[in-house]
Amino acid sequence: MNSARPNANRQRGGIARVLLVVIALALAAGLYLAGNEDAGRGLKKQAQLKTMEVIGEAAARRMGQGGGGAASHGSAVDLIRRPIEVRRIADNIHYATGVGNTVMITTAQGNLVFDTGLVLQVAQQMKALQAVSDAPVRYIVLSHSHADHIGGAKFWAGEDTQIIAHEDFEEEQRYLTELEPYQYARNRILFPWMPAWEERPDLEMMRYGGVVPDITVGDWERHAFTLGGIEFEVIGTPGAEGADNAVLWLPREKILFSGDFFGPQFPQFPNIFTMRGEKVRKPVEYIRSLDLLLELQPEVIVPSHLEPTRGAAEIRAGMVKIRDAVRYVHDQTVAGMNAGKSVYQLMREITLPPELDLVQNHGRVDWAVRSIWDYYMGWFRFESTTELYPVPVRDIYADLAGVAGNEALLTLARTYLNEGAAVKTLHVVEVVLAGDPGNSSALGLRRRALEMLLQAARAGLRNDYEIYWLQARLADTDARLEGGR
């Protein structure tokens, strides 16, 4: 892990230089063709596609060399390493793999594209799919406003393309755009293959947001249309992965293009909360959306991450299980709140019964419990007066360490660690580090506590987000320990 860092830095420098050359070329071409707007725009698109290809390949290479550790199935690290290639679902339905899949349905009257992947991978995905058909794109259907689904929308859209999305799509894009610098910094901790904010090429077409749908669907609304003899339905399915979820349904073929509605794997406990940070998601709406999708009786589910699932019975069983698991967690949380239990108590107590057991590598039950609590009650837990004021307990850590003495605190931290109480160890270590940020004994204990948590995460739920976070904190701890030497 340590030895990979200088390489990664050198490589990033190289990427930045290549980008500058490509961007300079793109700008020169744009100026040269200023008199001919259409040609200029076409060339600009091409130049930007080329730029994205270079960055995309560099990002994949960086992760390929970084080691990345034993990421679990469906992890972001695995996703960026996946080769971009075309897979066939039917003669007229293909998708390009990537961090986010891009689906293309070809018809005699032009094509429909469902979700458009990550901007870093658009160039490769477009090239791959246009080898199957380069007919005009008549419709682009976007499952939601996340960056790994709308990255290519501006590139796929032609003069006459109609974009279809949920009616909240623009509002979700608005808040994600307004908070982009903050969210970008958070995401980059979890997804280290993202280029640094200052190093990302700031090209108009690559910027997040600005995608305006021509047709929208409301919650649980169905928009039906035909193209080239194929029947399509876009359905608003709010709940998991944001308020603006929509799916694409082919009623005759019984194929459901689910975007992120189920998460990257099927079935799994959904991300009704994402620790990356986002607006709170609504579990009861998700249950209602699931009921609607159950009525459709899909025979194939094509998600926008990883592979399709086939088989009406298997799909039905999976959907029922997801719905009942979410309902169970919701109802248990509400019952616990009414019984006067604390949110932490409920996070510890509520677990899925065996018949509803689902993998939790994407969404987690305990985080969902906390999210449901917050969704209904907000941030004030009525536990302490201090919650009401902008003076967190951390503000007294340094003074506390001064009174208690580092030796006594470190002895306590070691005791906790020996008892396997990794989180309590971290609490004490944070008190010591508040007064003495470079304390190597405290940092060493922090390292061991994080490793203990990482080991437990890998042996237990294998939750990707938890694993990414712990890996990032371990790297940060190592950097501090090295800096102190």
**Which listed range, 6-14, 56-64, 147-155, 337-345, lies at the site for Zn ion (CB under 5 A)?**
147-155
Query: Between residues 44 and 362, which has the closer beta carbon with respect to Zn ion?
Result: 362
244 binds Zn ion (CB under 5 A): no
CB of 219 to Zn ion, least distance (A): 20
Give CA–CA dist 97/308, Å, rounded.
11
CA distance 103 to 257: 9
Q: Write the DSSP symbol of residue 195.
A: P
User: Whole-angstrom Cα distance, residue 261 to residue 323?
Assistant: 12
Which is nearer to Zn ion, 260 or 464 (by Cβ)? Answer: 260
Smallest separation (angstroms) from Zn ion to the CB of 181: 21
- Dist CA 59 CA 68 (whole Å): 13
Stretch of 7-15, 140-148, 349-357, 439-447 lying at the interface with Zn ion (CB under 5 A): 140-148
Q: Which of 477, 394, 475, 395 is nearest to 439 (CA)?
A: 477
Cβ nearer to Zn ion, comparing 148 with 168: 148
Question: What does the DSSP assignment read for 26-90?
Answer: HHHHHHHTTTSHHHHHHHHHHHHHHHHHHHHHHHHHHHHHH------TT-HHHHHHS---EEEEE
CB of 157 to Zn ion, least distance (A): 20
* Residue closer to Zn ion, measured from CB, 269 or 373: 269
Q: Does 260 bind Zn ion (CB under 5 A)?
A: yes
CB 278 within 8 A of CB 190: no
Beta carbon of residue 149, minimum distance to Zn ion (angstroms, whole number): 6
Nearest to 263 by CA among 170, 331, 326: 326
CB of 325 to Zn ion, least distance (A): 21
Shorter beta-carbon distance to Zn ion: residue 148 or 172? 148
The least distance separating Zn ion from the CB of residue 143, rounded to whole angstroms, comes to 8
Q: How far is the CB of 401 from Zn ion (least distance, A)?
A: 42
Compute the distance between CA of residue 1 and CA of residue 37 in angstroms, rounded to an integer. Answer: 49
| 260/285 with CB nearer Zn ion | 260
Smallest separation, CB 79 to Zn ion (Å): 9
Judging by beta carbons within 10 Å of its beta carbon (0-12, 13-18, 19+), is residue 148 exposed, middle or buried? buried
Q: Which stretch binds Zn ion (CB under 5 A): 257-265, 288-296, 339-347, 389-397?
A: 257-265
User: In the complex with Zn ion, which residue's Cβ is closer, 124 or 333?
Assistant: 124
What are the distances in angstroms from CA 368 to CA 325, 427, 485? 11, 23, 41
Q: Which is nearer to Zn ion, 260 or 278 (CB)?
A: 260
- Please identify, using beta-carbon distances, which residue of 140 and 453 lies nearer to Zn ion: 140
Rounded to the nearest whole angstrom, what is the least distance from the CB of residue 96 to Zn ion in the complex? 15
238: nearest Cα among 279, 174, 274, 281: 281
Largest CA distance in the chain: 78
Here's the x/- map for Zn ion, 26-65, by CB under 5 A: it reads as ----------------------------------------
Buried b / exposed e along 226-265 (16+ C-beta atoms within 10 A): ebeebebbbbbbbbbbbbbbbbbbbeebebbbbbbbbbbb
461 contacts 357 by C-beta, under 8 angstroms? no
> Which of residues 286 and 416 has its CB atom nearest to Zn ion in the complex?
286
Is there binding between residue 464 and Zn ion (CB under 5 A)? no
d(CA 21, CA 16): 9
CB count within 10 Å of CB 361 equals 24
Question: In angstroms, how far is CA 361 from the centroid of its own chain?
Answer: 13
Q: Which is nearer to Zn ion, 92 or 173 (CB)?
A: 173
Residue closer to Zn ion by CB (options 151, 236) is 151
Of 115-123, 143-151, 173-181, 189-197, the segment contacting Zn ion by CB under 5 A is 143-151
CB of 100 to Zn ion, least distance (A): 5
Q: How far is the CB of 260 from Zn ion (least distance, A)?
A: 4
Least CB distance to Zn ion at residue 240 (A): 11
How many binding residues for Zn ion (CB under 5 A)?
2
The one segment of 145-153, 191-199, 315-323, 401-409 that binds Zn ion by CB under 5 A: 145-153
Candidates 141-149, 176-184, 340-348, 461-469: pick the segment binding Zn ion (CB under 5 A): 141-149
Interface segment toward Zn ion; rule CB under 5 A; list 142-150, 278-286, 331-339, 434-442: 142-150
CA–CA distance, 310 with 427 (Å, rounded to integer): 47
Contacts of 134 by beta carbon, 8 Å cutoff, 6+ apart: none
- CA–CA dist 40, 21 (Å, integer): 18
Judged by CB under 5 A, the residue of 53, 115, 148, 466 near Zn ion is 148
* Residues near Zn ion (CB under 5 A): 148, 260
